[in-house]
Amino acid sequence: MGGFQIKAWCFRVLLLVFKTCIADEQHKDRIYPGFQASQVDWSDYVGLFLLSNNSAFALGFYQALDVKLYLLVIIHLGTDKVVWTANRGKLISKSAKFVFDKNGSAYLRGSDSMAWSTNTTGQVASAMELQDSGNLVLLGDKGSILWQSFSHPTDTLLPGQEFLQGMQLKSFRNSNNVFHYLEIQSGDLVLYTGYEPPQIYWSLAVGSKRSEREERSPGSPRINLRCLCNIQPNPSSPLELHIRDAGRWCQLCRCIV
């Protein structure tokens, strides 16, 4: 844990330097077919090579707990929070390449295999854009969306991001070697652990009914579950919803803890 804290502190220091020394070359809200990047190429800029137009978010390489390995992430610069990860299950070395090729696909290529891809080869891609919302978008002809990170969340939802049937939030593995998941099952929003078989320990439907009963009971704690859908973004943080390794909600309104 101590090593992780030191690494995170060092990254924040480097990120602060990066924020104060952004050059025009790094201040890109779009990249175009033919673009390539590696952590080595952008080490002077903490591995970050694509910025949103408002400089709130950045796409780039983030050092893993094993300091020789890296993740491709979107990070919120105001809070230093990673809000999306491309290759959580397949870490890469500092020489691995992010490639936006001329065949319509963007991918992360390790030394011997593909670590991540948009799987859009054969489509006409005109640009890749990191939007002010934190959404990484692969744009097609006439501005159509071929692929977007908002449709492939990892463990975080941002304001304005839809969470639909078929999507899933997955926490990092906790100290007990267990993942926690959030998804929609049969029209109900559920949290469950990654045991075999999976064990559901919270659902919106059951939680709402329990909350209504508790509201009618004098002296009982009140939990407003309705704010799950109506939460308002806090200017100081972009995180609308985040599933942690403890498997608990972490929201701006702190309605479920």
Q: Read off the pLDDT of each residue in 157-186 and give the average, rounded to a whole number.
A: 88
Distance CA 59, CA 130 (A): 8
**Listed residue (234, 237, 239) closest to 250, CA to CA:** 239
Q: Read off the pLDDT of each residue in 110-120 and give the average, rounded to a whole number.
A: 92
Q: Residue 198 belongs to what H/E stretch?
A: none
> CA 94 → CA 6, 47, 121, distances in Å?
20, 9, 25
Count CA atoms closer than 13 A to 158's CA, side-chain side.
Answer: 24
| pLDDT at residue number 22 | 45
| pLDDT at residue number 106 | 97
Cβ proximity of 77 and 58 under 8 Å: yes
Count CA atoms closer than 13 A to 139's CA, side-chain side.
Answer: 15
Give the model's confidence band at 52: pLDDT under 50 very low, under 70 low, under 90 confident, else very high: very high
Q: Which domains does the chain have, with CATH numbers?
A: 2-151 (2.90.10.10), 156-250 (no CATH)
Q: Is the pLDDT of residue 105 over 90?
A: yes
More confident residue, 114 or 89: 114
What single-letter amino acid sits at 189?
L
**Listed residue (32, 35, 60) closest to 125, CA to CA:** 32
What DSSP assignment string belongs to 69-83?
Answer: -EEEEEEETTTTEEE
Q: Is the pLDDT of residue 227 over 60?
A: no
What is this structure's pTM? 0.75
State the pairing for strand pair 81-85/156-157. Answer: unpaired
Q: Is the pLDDT of residue 164 over 60?
A: yes
Q: Read off the pLDDT of each residue in 174-179 and give the average, rounded to a whole number.
A: 84
